């Protein structure tokens, strides 16, 4: 088995090019056995997937990763525990943007450090739900002061296209990474963001590479399930498939990924992630996992290379797709649209927050 590739976001900040995603441990994604989920994290680190993505708003997940790191430190020593690179997020609640203070920023950073049981957050990815409300630049300034105090190594952002991130880089902030949805189904990031990010030394960290599990064998040849899922990711990504094309085109894509994978002896999920990793300026793919059960298939991503013929075959299917169109997170930014209605906007102070549609506001 080939070891996962790595990438330097900034000097001294090395990540694995597949990052273990933590959202799936936060609830609404099927059962989570906490003890098993924590124990299984070690298999990722030992396999070379040393970078973990979480968020201040992923309920209970920073604590789980913290429990894992503390246990690893205690059993295997600081050198092994220090291999774990954690990237979290800072996402103030929508309802608090006007009153959100610079002290609130440091309090969230301190809370993340305490939950994660580490002395420095490697990357904090900032997001502000509505730039027309409150003071986003001041909040990022407060995060930079946390960086100067040694509490944060590098700054990142979430779910913004180039024009929004430029707002921060032009104000003098060094943005090491931008986390965005980027997959064979959703190539919005390729339009403006990737070229701009290349010019500005901002690394892209992609999520949605497996479309919440849709880009796996599980859905190959399966009938259209509609939209009635209790798993929040499947609703989110079923909407993205709808933008991509009809269910038949999605099935053609799965068949093509499967044919390419068969040629290399890897699952179609590995082809889907490899395709993203090969796109300009993509530093890593964040692959969500509750346990280590998919880890052997995930590691296959590093066992092969796509050929020009493979890429052309996949490209021929993508050429038939109608979307999603527009900027990164553009569809999702309409809180009353079908992509925006299914999100929760106030998880920072309210872990029991409901989806926007359910609240009817
Ligand atoms: N910034 C944002 O707005 C944002 C949004 C979404 C996600 N994210 C980040 O990205 C991470 C990934 O989330 P995602 O939405 O992009 O989901 P994803 O990685 O596209 O899909 C994750 C799902 O695929 C399954 N899976 C993982 N590896 C597999 C494999 N090799 N074969 C078959 N199934 C496999 C997992 O199953 P199990 O659950 O059984 O392990 C999980 O249900 C999140 O955890 C989070 O860290 C960020």
Q: Please write the tens of the pLDDT for every residue from 61-114.
A: 999 999 999 999 999 999 999 999 999 999 999 999 999 999 999 999 999 999
- The pLDDT of residue 342: 78
Q: Please write the tens of the pLDDT for every residue from 299-310.
A: 999 999 999 999
- The pLDDT of residue 360: 41
Q: Which atom of ligand 1 is nearest to the CA of 270?
A: 31
In whole angstroms, what is the distance from residue 132 CA to residue 144 CA? 21
Asked whether residue 354 carries a pLDDT value surpassing 80, the answer given is: no
User: Which of 207, 241, 274, 302 is the best mutation target for the ligand 1 pocket, counting ligand atoms within 8 Å of the beta carbon and taking the most?
Assistant: 207
User: Which of 18, 23, 85, 298 is the best mutation target for the ligand 1 pocket, counting ligand atoms within 8 Å of the beta carbon and taking the most?
Assistant: 23
Structural domain span for residue 167? 6-218+266-305
CATH number of domain containing 127: 3.20.20.100
Asked whether residue 358 carries a pLDDT value surpassing 70, the answer given is: no
CB 41 within 8 A of CB 83: no
CB 249 within 8 A of CB 317: yes
Tokens of 118: 């580490």
Distance 285 CA to ligand 1 centre (A): 10
Residue 228 lies in a domain: no
Residue 354 lies in a domain: no
**Helical residues (DSSP H) of the chain, grouped into ranges:** 34-47, 61-76, 78-81, 102-116, 136-148, 162-169, 193-200, 232-244, 247-264, 268-277, 295-299, 308-318, 330-333, 356-359
Distance 138 CA to ligand 1 centre (A): 32
Distance 21 CA to ligand 1 centre (A): 6
Distance 349 CA to ligand 1 centre (A): 24
Q: Which residues line ligand 1 (CB under 6 A)?
A: 21-24, 29, 53, 158-159, 179, 207-213, 216, 233, 269, 286-291, 294, 297-298
Domain count along the chain? 1
Residues ≥6 apart with Cβ < 8 Å to 212? 231, 233, 234, 236, 237, 288
Residue 63 lies in a domain: yes
**C-alpha 12, offset from chain centre:** 21
In whole angstroms, what is the distance from residue 6 CA to residue 17 CA? 5
Residue 36 lies in a domain: yes
Can you say whether the dihedral through the CA atoms of 82, 284, 210, 256 is positive or negative?
negative
By three-state DSSP, how is residue 175 classified?
Answer: strand
Q: Which atom of ligand 1 is nearest to the CA of 300?
A: 31
Q: Please write the tens of the pLDDT for every residue from 21-55.
A: 999 999 877 789 999 999 999 999 999 999 999 99
Share of the chain above pLDDT 70, in %: 98
Q: If you take atom 45 of ligand 1, which residue's CA is the nearest one?
A: 21
Residue 260 lies in a domain: no
- The pLDDT of residue 38: 98
Residues ≥6 apart with Cβ < 8 Å to 96? 104, 346, 348, 349
Angle, helix 136-148 to helix 102-116, in steps of 10 degrees: 50
Asked whether residue 350 carries a pLDDT value surpassing 90, the answer given is: no
Q: Which atom of ligand 1 is nearest to the CA of 290?
A: 41
Distance 25 CA to ligand 1 centre (A): 10
- The pLDDT of residue 133: 96
Please give the model's pTM, rounded to 2 decimal places: 0.96
Asked whether residue 266 carries a pLDDT value surpassing 60, the answer given is: yes
In whole angstroms, what is the distance from residue 187 CA to residue 209 CA? 11
In whole angstroms, what is the distance from residue 203 CA to residue 177 CA? 4
Residue 297 lies in a domain: yes
- The pLDDT of residue 338: 83
Residue 317 lies in a domain: no
Q: Please write the tens of the pLDDT for every residue from 323-344.
A: 899 999 999 888 888 888 877 8
Q: Which atom of ligand 1 is nearest to the CA of 231?
A: 43
User: Which of 40, 125, 287, 299 is the best mutation target for the ligand 1 pocket, counting ligand atoms within 8 Å of the beta carbon and taking the most?
Assistant: 287
Residue 237 lies in a domain: no
Q: Please write the tens of the pLDDT for every residue from 139-197.
A: 999 999 999 999 999 999 999 999 999 999 999 999 999 999 999 999 999 999 999 99
């Amino acid at each position: 088995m080939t070891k996962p590739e790595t990438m330097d976001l900034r000097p001294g900040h090395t990540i694995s090019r597949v990052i273990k995603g933590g959202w799936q441990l936060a609830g609404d994604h099927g059962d989570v056995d906490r003890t098993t989920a924590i124990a299984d994290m070690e298999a990722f680190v030992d396999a070379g997937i040393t970078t973990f993505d979480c968020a201040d708003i992923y309920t209970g997940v920073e604590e789980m990763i913290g429990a894992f790191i503390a246990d690893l430190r205690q059993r295997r020593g600081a050198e092994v525990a220090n291999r774990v690179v954690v990237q979290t997020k800072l996402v103030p609640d929508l309802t608090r943007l006007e009153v959100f203070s610079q002290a609130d920023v440091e309090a969230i950073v301190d809370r993340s450090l305490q939950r994660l049981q580490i002395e420095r957050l490697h990357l904090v990815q900032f997001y502000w739900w509505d730039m027309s409300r409150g003071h986003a630049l001041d909040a990022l300034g407060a995060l930079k002061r946390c960086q100067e105090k040694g509490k944060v190594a590098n700054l990142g952002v979430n779910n913004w296209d180039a024009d929004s991130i430029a707002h921060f880089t032009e104000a003098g902030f060094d943005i090491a990474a931008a986390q965005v949805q980027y997959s064979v189904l959703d190539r919005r990031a390729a339009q403006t963001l990737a070229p701009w990010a290349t010019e500005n030394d901002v690394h892209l960290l992609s999520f949605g590479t497996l479309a919440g599990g849709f880009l796996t064998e599980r859905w190959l040849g399966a009938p259209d399930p509609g939209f009635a899922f209790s798993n929040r990711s499947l609703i989110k990504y079923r909407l993205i498939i709808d933008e991509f094309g009809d269910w038949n085109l999605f099935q053609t894509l799965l068949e093509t990924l499967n044919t390419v994978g068969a040629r290399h002896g890897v699952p179609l999920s590995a082809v889907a992630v490899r395709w993203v990793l090969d796109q300009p300026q993509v530093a890593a793919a964040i692959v969500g996992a509750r346990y280590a059960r998919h880890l052997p298939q995930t590691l296959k991503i590093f066992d092969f290379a796509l050929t020009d013929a493979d890429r052309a075959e996949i490209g021929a299917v993508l050429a038939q797709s109608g979307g999603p169109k527009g900027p990164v997170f553009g569809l999702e930014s309409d809180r009353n649209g079908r992509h925006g209605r299914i999100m929760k906007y106030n998880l920072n102070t309210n872990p029991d927050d409901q989806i926007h549609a359910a609240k009817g506001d």
